[in-house]
Structure 1
Amino acid sequence: MTTPETTGRAVQFEVFGGPEVLRVRDVPVPQAGPGQLRVRVAAAGLNPMDWFMTTDAETAARFGLSLPCGFGTDYSGVVDQVGEGVSAYAVGDRVFGGVLSRAVADYVVVDEAGTIAVGGEAHRTPSGVDDRTAATLAIAGRTAAAAVAVVKPGPGDTVLVGGDRVRELAPAGVTAVMDLHGTDTAQTARELGVPDERITTIAAQVDGITPANGANAPYAALDEIAGLVAAGKLRVPIAAGYPVDQIRTAVELQAGRHVQGKIVIDL
C-alpha cells in the first residue's frame, strides 16, 4: 500500500542554533525498504535532548547528526506501508517509538528491528493509549527504565527523585536517589549517606556514580510502560499540544525547563 501524497511536512534545520533555526519544509514522502515500515505520524513528543542536539556542530556530531537534519525523536501514528520481509507489523497497526532527530514529520520510516539511534524503532500502541500519550514514551520511558535499573528500588526503599526539604520529607532518610536535572541532588544524596551505587543521574555525570542511559534500557521496557498506561496504573501529564507550524513556540516553551508535563506536536 502506498500513500497518494508525494510530499509531506517535516521540521528541519539547515544551520545550528536555537528554536529560531527550525523550519517546516515540504519533503518527498519516504518509502519503506526491505525490513522497514512507514508510519503516518499522528503526534511527536518533545524532549530536552531534541533541542540540545541541534545547538552546535560539536554537540550534533556526538549524536551522529549533520546538516541538513530533521528534528524530534518520539513519535506515534499508524503504519501505512510495509517493506519486503516485515512480519511483525501490518498496514493499519497503531505504533509508537523513537527515530533520532526525524520524528516531527508527517511520515517516518523505521526499521522493524532497529533502535532509536540506528534506523528507528517501533512498538505496538496498546488499546486505551491515545496517540498523544504514546508519543511521549520513547525517550522518557527508556530513561526511567534505565534509572530504575541502576538504583534497583525495592520494598522498604525510600527513593528520592529530585526535590528539596529532604530531611523534612523523609526524616528516616533516603536509600536511593535519581537526579533528573544536574548534580545537586546527587551530591546531597552523598551527604545523606546514600551509597554511590544507589544514585543515578540523567543530565550530568559524577565520578563514581552510574548515569542512566536510555539507550541501555531493554527493548521490552517501553512495551511494559505502555501496558501500565493502558491499565491506568501510570499517567503521563501532557502540559501542552501545538500544531506543527508552531514548532518554534513549542520548543521555546520546552527549553525553558519550567513545564509541568510533556509537550506534544500534533500532525
Structure 2
Amino acid sequence: MNSAFRPLAGRRGLIVGVANEHSIAWGCARRAHGLGADLVLSCLNAKAAAVTAPLARQVGAPLLTCDVADADALSRMVGEAAQHLGGLDFVVHSIAWAPHDDLFGRVADSSAEGFAKAMQISCHSFAALARLAEPHMAAGGTLVTMSYLGAEEAVPHYGLMGPVKAALESMVRYLALELGPAGIRVHAVSPGPVPTRAASGLPDFDQLMAQARAQAPLRRLVTLDEIGDCVAFLVGPGATGMTGQTLYVDAGVHAVR
C-alpha cells in the first residue's frame, strides 16, 4: 500500500472481539492499522489472548481481555483503552453469541434465559460501549457494529440470532439519533457469510456459504479485508455525513433475494 495514503493517521480506535486471524474484528484491525490508525484490541479472556497476542503485536496494539457481559470489566476496558490512546475516535464492536441449545433450536423453542443472554452479549453490549465511549469522544467519533442479512429477513438455520441482529440494527438507528448532537456517528456493517469461529457454529454454515456464493451477483464470498475496508471508510474522513445506516458487504446478495 502507498505509505502516503493513510486517511486514518492520528485516529484512535478500540476494536472489540478479536478471536483469531479469521475473525472480522481482526480484519478490521489489520486494515485500520494499515491506513494509519492507532489501536487497542480486546479479546474474551486469557485463553483467547494466547491466540490473539501475536496479532496485536502485528499492529502494535495493546491487547485487553474483557467479557462484555461483565459491566465492570467492560467499563475498565474502555477506560484503559481511552487512557492509552488519549481518547477515542472510533469503536468497532464485533461480538455475537447465543447458547448452543437456543442457537441450534427453533426460535419458537428458545428459552427466555438463552434469548436474554444472547441479547445482552450480542446487542446490549453495543449500547453499553456507546455509553462508555461517549465521554472519550469529545470531538465526535464513530461506533460500528456487525450485523447480518438474517436481521432483515428469515434466513434458514440462522435462528435466534436473526431477532437479536434485528434488535442490534434498530439500536444503531436510535444511538445515531441520540448521539448525533455530540458528533458521534453510528453504523452497522452487514457482511456476507465468512468462515469465522463464531459463524462456523451455526447449523449448516457450509450450506449457507455455498448458497451465498451462488446467489451473489459477484459470484463469490467477501473477504475480511473487504469488510475491514468498509469499516475503515465509515470511521474515516470520507463518511462524516453518514450515520444510522446498515451497509452491506456481501457481494450483492442482499440486492437480489
Q: Tell me the TM-score normalized by structure 2.
A: 0.27
**Structure with more of its chain in strand, by fraction:** 1
**Structure with more of its chain in helix, by fraction:** 2
Flag the structure with larger Rg.
1
